[in-house]
Amino acid sequence: MGDELPTVLSAAPRNSAPASGPEWHLWPGLIIASALVVLALAGLDALVWQAFLSVLLSLLVAVPVSRILADSVCNL
């Protein structure tokens, strides 16, 4: 009788996100929007735009993939 776990503990969600602050999937969009405004104001040439956009595209892939990997490692 004394070694049973309460059912409340087993129903608790794992790795629940904090309630405050923007969600993690909004950050790439915010970074892109602010960087595009800065670059538009600076009037940079096409080579700089290509380098900048390639870095942004790699971040768009890297941020969600790293988040997914971190979640899967934490759930092990």
Residue 10 domain-assigned (yes or no)? no
**Is 64 within 8 Å of 25 (Cβ atoms)?**
yes
What is the domain count for the chain?
1
The reported pLDDT for the residue numbered 13 is: 53
Residue 12 domain-assigned (yes or no)? no
- 27-62 confidence digits (pLDDT tens): 777 787 887 777 777 776 777 778 888 888 888 888
The token duo for 54 is: 């390639």
Residue 53 domain-assigned (yes or no)? yes
Residue 32 domain-assigned (yes or no)? no
Residue 36 domain-assigned (yes or no)? no
The reported pLDDT for the residue numbered 72 is: 80
Dist CA 31 CA 41 (whole Å)? 16
Share of the chain above pLDDT 90, in %: 0
pTM reported for the whole predicted model? 0.34
Residue 71 domain-assigned (yes or no)? yes
Mean pLDDT of 60-76: 79
Share of the chain above pLDDT 70, in %: 63
Residue 73 domain-assigned (yes or no)? yes
Residue 54 domain-assigned (yes or no)? yes
Domain that holds residue 71: 44-76
